[in-house]
């Protein structure tokens, strides 16, 4: 009698597990069944826009479904990020997130409306690139050494950024703290407007993402003096780092681009997207395109990407505290 009851209990448990697993299996087979929106949180022409479109085009092929890229810019990337936070966690609205709106501004600006650690689900890393120190074509500075000497001499200068709380802003503020307290910050609404004014000589220097700045360097519209990362960029190995030029050994600023979903995204969809994106960025032709933007291509699992984001948030919070920065 006991054996019969135990057998029934086991059978009931198996049936229950099957019923519970059925929606997951069905979802895996049907997702995606309609177009996916990729929300880029800055205007066209920035690093997130460039990498988002490269990967988004291939993601449509990989998932056999349309992928639509939309630019929701403003407030240091937080408007677009908030749009994704408030979307349904069904895998049909994803953020092409970058350093500013994920690792900096939720902990720097006031009332952005979300916490990147609790309100977003990390999916995959697309790439990590340095910032490029550029100056106008007729700038008196033609080398990083000349520019660094001007900083040390407290020469009156201003610097552009893609917006308050972007890596280009924090990089300038750290130089202001360490070398030249007279530096003046000029924030723009994205990389495109800032690059236009650099090319026109309206500002003295700017740290755009490498992918955004290099087309203007190659076109002779701006001059490249240095890169912001600890190591030199593979595409411009003769260009020094800011750390080399200034002697600030710890100077290391990069911009990374990754994919995020609203909190509560089903794990199976998150894994499906992570697997697809990692496969895409490692495909030789796509990897070559990404590396041509100056990006280091690194395929990470979801836990690895989550740890990467948390580490970067802690690093930028320390910089903000060290420089005693306040939201403007």
- Return the CATH number at 259: 3.40.190.150
Q: Are 216 and 134 in contact, with CB atoms under 8 Å apart?
A: yes
State whether 193 and 274 are in the same domain: no
pLDDT of residue 165: 85
* Residue 189 located in a structural domain: yes
Mean pLDDT across 82-108: 95
- Assign 21 a pLDDT band (cuts: 50, 70, 90): very low
pLDDT of residue 322: 84
pLDDT of residue 125: 98
pLDDT of residue 107: 87
- Assign 4 a pLDDT band (cuts: 50, 70, 90): very low
**Total count of domains within the chain:** 2
Q: Is 204 left (phi over 0), alpha (psi -120 to 50) or beta?
A: alpha
pLDDT of residue 23: 53
Higher pLDDT, 301 or 44: 301
Mean pLDDT check: name the lowest of 41-45, 200-204, 234-238.
Answer: 41-45
Q: What is the residue range of 297's domain?
A: 35-129+254-322
pLDDT greater than 90 at residue 20: no
Mean pLDDT check: name the lowest of 111-115, 224-228, 235-239.
Answer: 111-115
Pairing label, strands 223-227, 132-135: antiparallel
Pairing label, strands 120-130, 93-98: unpaired
Query: Of 101, 107, 136, which is closest to residue 120 (Cα–Cα)?
Result: 101
pLDDT of residue 28: 53
Mean pLDDT across 287-315: 96
pLDDT of residue 328: 57
Mean pLDDT across 219-248: 97
Is the bond into 266 cis (omega within 30 degrees of 0)? no
State whether 238 and 258 are in the same domain: no
* Residue 309 located in a structural domain: yes
Output the pTM of the full model. 0.84
Q: Are 116 and 106 in contact, with CB atoms under 8 Å apart?
A: yes
Q: Please report, rounded to a whole number, the percentage of residues in the chain having pLDDT higher than 70.
A: 91
324 vs 328: CA distance, rounded Å: 12
120 vs 262: CA distance, rounded Å: 5
State whether 157 and 219 are in the same domain: yes
Pairing label, strands 254-262, 184-187: unpaired
Query: Of 160, 167, 159, 163, which is closest to residue 189 (Cα–Cα)?
Result: 163
CATH code, 197? 3.40.190.10
pLDDT greater than 60 at residue 243: yes
Residue 156: other Cβ atoms inside 10 A: 10
pLDDT greater than 70 at residue 252: yes
State whether 87 and 169 are in the same domain: no
State whether 229 and 140 are in the same domain: yes
pLDDT greater than 80 at residue 196: yes
* Residue 4 located in a structural domain: no
């Amino acid at each position: 009698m006991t054996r019969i009851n135990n057998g029934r209990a086991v059978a009931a448990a198996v049936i229950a597990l099957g019923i519970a697993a059925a929606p997951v299996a069905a979802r895996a087979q049907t997702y995606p069944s309609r177009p996916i929106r990729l929300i880029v949180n800055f205007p066209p022409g920035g690093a997130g826009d460039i990498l988002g479109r490269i990967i988004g085009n291939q993601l449509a092929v990989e998932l056999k479904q349309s992928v639509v890229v939309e630019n929701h810019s403003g407030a240091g990337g937080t408007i677009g990020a908030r749009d994704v936070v408030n979307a349904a966690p069904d895998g049909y609205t994803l953020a092409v997130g970058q350093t500013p709106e994920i690792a900096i501004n939720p902990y720097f600006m006031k009332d952005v409306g979300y916490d990147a650690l609790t309100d977003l689900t990390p999916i995959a890393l697309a790439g990590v690139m340095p910032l490029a120190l550029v100056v106008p074509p007729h700038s008196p500075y033609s080398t990083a050494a000349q520019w660094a000497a001007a900083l040390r001499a407290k020469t009156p200068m201003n610097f552009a950024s893609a917006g308050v709380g972007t890596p280009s802003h924090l990089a300038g503020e750290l130089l202001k703290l360490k070398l030249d307290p007279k530096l003046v910050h000029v924030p723009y609404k994205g990389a495109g407007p800032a690059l236009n004014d650099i090319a026109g000589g309206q500002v003295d220097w700017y740290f755009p993402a490498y992918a955004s700045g290099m087309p203007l360097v190659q076109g002779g519209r701006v001059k490249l003096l240095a890169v912001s990362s600890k190591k030199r960029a593979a595409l411009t190995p003769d260009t020094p780092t800011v750390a080399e030029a200034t002697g600030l050994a710890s100077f290391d600023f990069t911009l990374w681009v990754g994919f995020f979903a609203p909190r509560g995204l089903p794990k199976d969809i998150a894994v499906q997207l992570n697997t697809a994106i990692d496969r895409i960025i490692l495909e030789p032709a796509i990897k070559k395109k990404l590396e041509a933007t100056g990006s280091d291509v690194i395929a990470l699992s979801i836990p690895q990407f989550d740890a990467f984001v948390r580490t970067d948030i802690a690093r930028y919070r320390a910089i903000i505290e060290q420089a005693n920065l306040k939201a403007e």
